[in-house]
Copies of this chain bind each other. A is one copy, B any other.
């Protein structure tokens, strides 16, 4: 044994020659050295480089803050060295932001050409303030659609974000830049917004994870308004994380909700984050298998079926909800009326102000049924009543069936071609009823296995098995309102059951 070479040398010998670090560096890595090989500057440098690569491949960024990020990382390292403790739970971690968040001194056009004339942001968004207090390093802002109201992150300033998994597919929207960056490993945690699916659509298109919490838990104040302020809509925009680990979502949410959120945003709920234990009991899941207007494509149907089957196998209960909750298509139609409540049509004015063209996906993301619908105060009272009935029906189901969560699709298909996503029926319903909702991967489209789930229905967009082969499939999971804590634990249960963790 004495003659055997040290194990480390054996490992080193297996590293390809052109991957070796220069000896000028490795000679410093000794048992007696006080240097850190994993400080914030190195981590942030790596993520800045990777984000730059991602940008060159899939056009996912809007603003880059590499210099200030590296300066901030150096400050974090200095603080840790000086104080012997981190700034906060997010100490030194690079976090990416959708372009709609304000970072003091940085441009925030959100893809409106007319906003190029705006001065850089005079102050941080509320959530940005908290992230910085907690030690985070902000290094990039990411791309989004014109008017933030389509599933294609495409605008006339920053162009179109491509899906890293297949470039002719949408990366989703409105937080498509984040999802593409995450899928490119250019970020571990991104901050997105969601009013109809913007946090979840990109996640399901790019095969990452995301969670849209209950509204007003993460402070929304101080972002760049895409439209008019003062909306009387019952559907509130929500901030949520997207990334690759449920633990990261827990860390993010624990760091930014409660008293901290209310302290920077009077509209945020002053409700503490609850530390809860993982579930040890069997769970009860509702199951919704879509609506007739947008039947599930075979790979999505198979992924849902697989998820429900696996959960049942390990002892959880599945309750079919298909005909019990309010019609999903009609619910989405109602939600859309809330989005049309501005008599001034402010987002359109922001577009027209520069004479820029409308992006191709914008007209595809609307309901023909509402072409003639005009908002007025009387109608607002009426749609509030309709919404209240739907919200009650959902709650009654959750209570009567004693459900912990509901499994449903987030979209009927894997990532579709650019400009063909259409209206986001399945993601907007949780916004309408204000239930927390998340996206998890269930596997990948596989033509042969998916074939069993083929039905004689009209798929929209068209189902082209060869074109989606290998693209990620997903399940959307809804938790109960204000039980974001429980939903994260449920995500872990589902992931473990699917063997994804």
Contacts and interface: CB of A to CB of B under 8 A. Distances in A.
A47 to B, nearest CB: 33
- Interface magnitude class on chain A: 35 or more
Given A229-B385, A232-B232, A482 B377 contact: no
Interface in A361-392: 375-378, 380-385, 388, 391-392
A495 B343 CA distance: 51
Given A262-B395, A391-B266, A231 B481 contact: no
Interface string A336-364: 00000111100000000000000000000
A384 B232 contact: yes
Contact of A377 (B262, B376, B399, B480): B376
Nearest to A375: B377
A236 to B, nearest CB: 12
A229 B385 CA distance: 6
A266 B385 CA distance: 13
Contacts of A342: 381
8 closest Cβ contacts across the A-B interface?
A: A266-B395, A230-B384, A230-B385, A230-B381, A270-B482, A377-B377, A232-B232, A266-B391
A289 to B, nearest CB: 24
Given A263-B399, A343-B378, A481 B270 contact: yes
Interface in A236-286: 262-263, 266-267, 269-272, 274
Contact of A266 (B229, B230, B384, B392): B392
A270 B384 contact: no
A342 B270 CA distance: 30
Contacts of A115: none
Contacts of A382: 230
8 contacts: A229-B388, A232-B377, A266-B388, A266-B391, A266-B395, A267-B391, A269-B481, A377-B377
A298 B342 CA distance: 48
A272 B274 contact: yes
A380 B482 CA distance: 28
Contact of A388 (B267, B381, B482): B267
Contacts of A266: 388, 391-392, 394-396
Interface string A463-490: 0000000000000000011110000000
Given A267-B388, A399-B263, A381 B483 contact: no
Contacts of A263: 399
A292 interface: no
A41 to B, nearest CB: 33
B228 A381 contact: yes
A483 B341 contact: no
B394 A270 contact: no
Given A344-B378, A377-B343, A381-B342, A482 B232 contact: no
Nearest to A274: B272
Given A266-B396, A377-B377, A380-B380, 9 more contacts: A229-B388, A230-B380, A230-B381, A263-B399, A266-B388, A269-B482, A341-B377, A342-B381, A376-B376
A343 B274 CA distance: 42
A1 to B, nearest CB: 60
